[in-house]
Structure 1
Amino acid sequence: MSQRIISLAALTVLELSPPDMIEVAARAGYSHVGLRTEPATLEEHHFPLLRDAELRRQTLARLRDTGIKVLDIEILRLKPDTRVADFAVHLAAGAEFGAGELLVAGNDPDEQRMTERFAELCDLAAPYGIHPHLEFMPWTDCKRFTDAQRVVENAGRENGCVLIDAFHFDRSGSRLEQIASLSPSRMRYAQLCDVIGPRPDDMAEILRQARQERRFPGEGDCDLVGLLRALPPSLPLSLEIPTQRLLEQGVSALQRAQMAIDHTRRVLERL
């Protein structure tokens, strides 16, 4: 098994502050973390990295002390009223942390406008050395792999990428053979988890599962070996595995992060 970057995503241990998350990642054997500069929902608890200079200082210090690197920042949304210039503060923070990747969601029913905004964001991100990744999710306006591929390719920017998350890949009905049509240069990392059971008919239930109840790799029904073989070799993996049931049972963030990476390594040994 070749060595590859394995990153701890914020959603896996969302209760932790960024410095504590970095400490947990180091103790569990990760090389990288993903940081949230913008919350995914209005309801989730958020640590305001952009507004809190002291938190930013502590985060940078913990990165230095542990040797952990930042893989990506998240999550910026392209909406009908988005002003892409407003994202500059996130990109500046991402560059300060050393992130090379940015997670982007498409929440605009006008695909042409979404494509133009994505191109504009790529242009804004380029001087920072950051690659925006459009993540398809079945409840957004960019629902499937083919939707994200079309927007990114039509945007026509070298640093524009598609983010494959194993959960969304499964729940959107995307297919492994479709991946071969995307240039490997358009994929700089992927998000890994497992999914259990058939795809629900209710989108609210899909959303609940995505944010609260995923499974560790190898515990569910996804063909993760097939997915990993379809992706570029040694692609960095971000482990995004919220497990609300374990949190409620008192399983610590360190234990959950350790379970996630241990399960992932066992899957990787099967490649």
Structure 2
Amino acid sequence: MNLSNFGMDSITLAGPLESKLAASKAVGFSQIMLWAKDLAAHPGGISEAVRVVRASGVRVTGIQVMRDYEGLSGPLHEYKLDIAKNMLQVCQAVGAPLLMVCSSTSSHASGDLPLIARQLAKLATLAVPLGVKVGFEALSWGRHINQYEQSWAAVEMADHSNLGVVIDSFHMLANQADLEYLEDIPSEKIAMVQLSDFMWRDIRSAEERLETARHLRVFPGEGIHSRELSELLRRLDKNGYRGDYSFEVFNDDYLQLSPEIVAKRAHGAAKWVTDQVLRRSLNMRQPVPGHPMMA
């Protein structure tokens, strides 16, 4: 695990797309997770935004975010499927290997797991010829799927090679998730890991959960869940995950700072993350007094 495994999330940085790419690259990140609206809102249009991204030399980790896709039927499903197809085309245009789909919050969505699995598999199949993978994430306020083990159950049932699960530390911390279930997920089925923390232990209401998630996250190492985050990281590393990590940090304070300052904070978080894994690995390799290795 090193700096090349980590990247910024464009939602964390203020300013235009060009500034976000430049700030991320300046501190040593070689990748970035982009929100589709960063491209769609570019003054020159999506085609110019794609040119800017490709010219920057920064690799796009993926595109966010397809919302309220699964569990719908009839015209609603057809509408969302059409939106998803368009987002897949954006992924292809900008060279993003991943489209992120977050679990539905819609009151019109069914919790029927076989239906959800079939619809995720359908999207994954549509993504194959475009060279894009689909990652499914459990929102902690999802209507039917709100725990990471539930998102994995849907992905496992879909049984599609182009579909994986997204691990998001915020939603796991907010739900006080049991990390034991991580061992059930093969490392190759984890499409992405998103990292962030927050500043208090208890989330007292659904409103506070949303407020924290959308405005008050902080980087790993800055919040008060460092012990849980460290355990999460070590479990992922032990289980063989060697993919990308993205700092998905929604924070209104950061949006009042220059992207350069925030990118430096993210760089510090990357060092904190690697230290947690490396320190544990080194400790485990230390010879024990009286052990044959000491002779």
Shared fold per TM-score greater than 0.5: yes
> Do the aligned partners of 1:85 and 1:124 also contact (CA within 8 Å) in 2?
no
Deviations 1:54-102 (A, max 9, x none): 3333333333333101110011121522322442221111012111111
Give the Å deviation of 1:29: 1.8
State percent identity of aligned pairs: 23
The residue that corresponds to 1:127 in the other structure is 129
CA distance in 1, matches of 2:64, 2:160: 20
**Letter in structure 1 aligned against 2:248:** E
> Do the aligned partners of 1:18 and 1:35 also contact (CA within 8 Å) in 2?
no
> Do the aligned partners of 2:187 and 2:241 also contact (CA within 8 Å) in 1?
no
Q: 2:212 aligns with which of 205, 209, 213?
A: 209
The residue that corresponds to 2:10 in the other structure is 10
> Aligned runs of 1:61-100 on 2, under 5 Å?
61-77=51-67, 78-79=69-70, 80=72, 81-83=76-78, 84-100=81-97
Give the Å deviation of 1:53: 8.9
Q: 2:202 aligns with which of 172, 177, 199?
A: 199
> Aligned runs of 1:236-255 on 2, under 5 Å?
236-247=244-255, 250-255=256-261
The residue that corresponds to 1:41 in the other structure is none
The residue that corresponds to 2:286 in the other structure is none
Whether 1:144 and 2:147 are equivalent positions in the alignment is: yes
Name whichever of 222-231 and 91-100 sits farther off. 222-231
How many residue pairs match? The answer is 259
CA distance in 2, matches of 1:225, 1:58: 40
Q: 2:233 aligns with which of 195, 215, 228?
A: 228
SS at match of 1:125: helix
Q: Which runs of 5+ in 1 are unaligned?
A: 38-45
CA distance in 1, matches of 2:258, 2:44: 26
The structure-2 alpha-carbon separation of the partners of 1:6 and 1:55, relative to structure 1 and needing over 3 Å to count, comes to farther
Name whichever of 91-100 and 104-113 sits farther off. 104-113
TM-score (norm 1): 0.87
SS at match of 2:202: coil
Q: 1:59 aligns with which of 44, 49, 63?
A: 49
Deviations 1:133-158 (A, max 9, x none): 11111111220011101111111111
Give the Å deviation of 1:256: 1.1
Q: 1:269 aligns with which of 251, 269, 275?
A: 275
Give the Å deviation of 1:217: 1.0
The structure-2 alpha-carbon separation of the partners of 1:8 and 1:216, relative to structure 1 and needing over 3 Å to count, comes to same
CA distance in 2, matches of 1:164, 1:235: 11
CA distance in 2, matches of 1:89, 1:192: 27
Give the Å deviation of 1:182: 0.7
> Do the aligned partners of 2:216 and 2:252 also contact (CA within 8 Å) in 1?
yes
Deviations 1:129-186 (A, max 9, x none): 2111111111112200111011111111111111111100111222221101011111
Whether 1:32 and 2:37 are equivalent positions in the alignment is: no
Q: Which runs of 5+ in 2 are unaligned?
A: 278-295
The residue that corresponds to 1:43 in the other structure is none
CA distance in 1, matches of 2:8, 2:234: 21
Give the Å deviation of 1:227: 1.0
> Aligned runs of 1:146-185 on 2, under 5 Å?
146-185=149-188
The structure-2 alpha-carbon separation of the partners of 1:64 and 1:129, relative to structure 1 and needing over 3 Å to count, comes to closer
Structure having the higher Rg:
2
> Do the aligned partners of 2:12 and 2:254 also contact (CA within 8 Å) in 1?
no
The residue that corresponds to 2:112 in the other structure is 111
Structure number with the higher helix fraction is 2
**Letter in structure 1 aligned against 2:64:** E
The residue that corresponds to 1:101 in the other structure is 98
The structure-2 alpha-carbon separation of the partners of 1:166 and 1:60, relative to structure 1 and needing over 3 Å to count, comes to same
CA RMSD between the two structures: 2.1
